[in-house]
Amino acid sequence: MVGNVSGAHVLVILVVLALEVLALVQVWRDRRRSDVVKVVWTVVIIALPVIGVVGWAVNWLLGRAADRLNRSSGPTA
């Protein structure tokens, strides 16, 4: 079984692992999220590698966009 692994397979595995590590580091560095949310994201990212990383990335990007919109609108009243 290991003999059938080509360079392309190894490259894909390394890219997925690098994305997982990046996602996990970003999850745990986020000060706005509670520890419970961080644990849930960690479990999702590890249990569902590709889907978890994509879900985290979408959530992270939408959160950053929402923060920018809130900052640009400024306080009203």
Who has greater pLDDT, 77 or 69? 69
Percent of the chain with pLDDT over 70: 92
The model's pTM is: 0.74
For residue 22, CA distances in Å to 4, 7, 15, 69, 74 come to 28, 22, 10, 25, 31
User: Any alpha helices (H) in 30-48, and if so which ranges?
Assistant: 35-47
Per-residue pLDDT, 45: 93
Averaged pLDDT score across all residues of the chain: 87
Judged against a pLDDT cut of 80, whether residue 56 lies above it is answered with yes
Who has greater pLDDT, 55 or 73? 55
Per-residue pLDDT, 75: 63
